Amino acid sequence: MLSLLAPPVAPAAETAPQRYTVVRASEDGIGKVYLGREIAQVMGYRGAPWLERPERVYEEQPERVLAALDFKSGMTVADVGAGSGYYSWRMAERVGTGGSVYAVDIQPEMVEILKRHMSLRGVTNVKAVLGSATDPRLPEAKLDLVLMVDVYHEFEYPYEMLAAIVRSLKPGGRLAFVEYRGSDPEVQIKPLHTMTEAQIRKEAAPHSLEWLKTVRDLPSQQVVVFRRK
């Protein structure tokens, strides 16, 4: 849902062509399949106002999402696919002035929107980062937690992005996927913009991650949390 998709990058596509299959694109997909899942089209920066819609508070209950992740003062964390910074400033409040938040997006326009929102809120411990389709450009082995909210399903290079994110985590650092629940008839989201827990765990399996827990009691989403081995 957020903006972590860029125009195709030839070198990255050539690094591991066996990981991805090209198919006829569905209405909401990009025609690229990873581990049986077609990657969804991305929302661009012009969708930023929708990310800030008032209804999002009760539709997604961000306070419950963050409470489930046990933030502590002084943590170094990242919001990957940060978009307009909807979660970034909430994370900044939880880690306090002694902590820091890396807010990553790959669209320069969205990064500028995020910076403006942080400035208007007076948030000083969020660092905006312009990432790429294969690398969020986070410091290596420094992060306590990386959060991805409704964005992983749009990564153009999911394997490469997860590998880079895992490298950014401290040993024991955590990675949280927040995704709309796939195969749930009560979730009124286009199917390619949802993921089942099984698919998330399948795509995490090639990496140095172990599953910790899944939070399933949100209105439409789930939080699947892993720890770096």
How many other C-beta atoms are found inside a 10 Å radius of the C-beta of residue 226? 25
pLDDT of residue 17: 56
Please tell me the pTM assigned to this model.
0.91
Determine the longest span between alpha carbons in the chain, in angstroms. 49
Tell whether the model's pLDDT for residue 195 goes beyond 90. Answer: yes
* Fold (topology level) of 10-228: Rossmann fold (3.40.50)
How many other C-beta atoms are found inside a 10 Å radius of the C-beta of residue 36? 9
Residues 120-179 pLDDT 10s: 999 999 999 999 999 999 999 999 999 999 999 999 999 999 999 999 999 999 999 999
